[in-house]
Amino acid sequence: MITLYDHIQQLHSELRNSIPRRERAAITAELKKAIAEQTMLDRELDQALEALIGEPLRPTPMSSPCNSPTASARAARKYQGDWRGSDPPRPKRERNR
């Protein structure tokens, strides 16, 4: 039996391949469902562990300029590109003549 994590990884790899649009939509929907299920299971596990040890597992983040919403928005705008695909464009190499 395949684990949920392995199933999610398999769906990610299927999306990386060139597939028809309809099949891509079906895989994307299945991937979203699997990620939601994994998130729910993680949340339930965290709650059970917090109840067991009596303190939060994840400490609250300290206030810093890097954690502010405006800094996050600036960073998101900075890294939004107009390229297609998952990798940023590579710089062009100069030819030696």
pLDDT digits 0-9 by tens, 13-69: 888 886 788 888 899 999 999 999 999 999 999 888 888 888 777 665 655 555 555
pLDDT at residue number 83:
44
- The model's pTM: 0.52
Distance (Å, whole) CA 28 – CA 15? 8
Establish if 41 belongs to a structural domain.
yes
Rounded Cα distance, 67 and 3, in Å:
34
* Residue 65 domain-assigned (yes or no): no
| Tokens describing residue 1 | 């039996």
Residue span of the structural domain in which 7 resides: 1-56
DSSP 23-36: HHHHHHHHHHHHHH
Q: Is 41 helix (H, G, I), strand (E, B) or coil?
A: helix
Number of domains in the chain: 1
Largest CA-CA distance found in the chain, in angstroms, rounded: 69
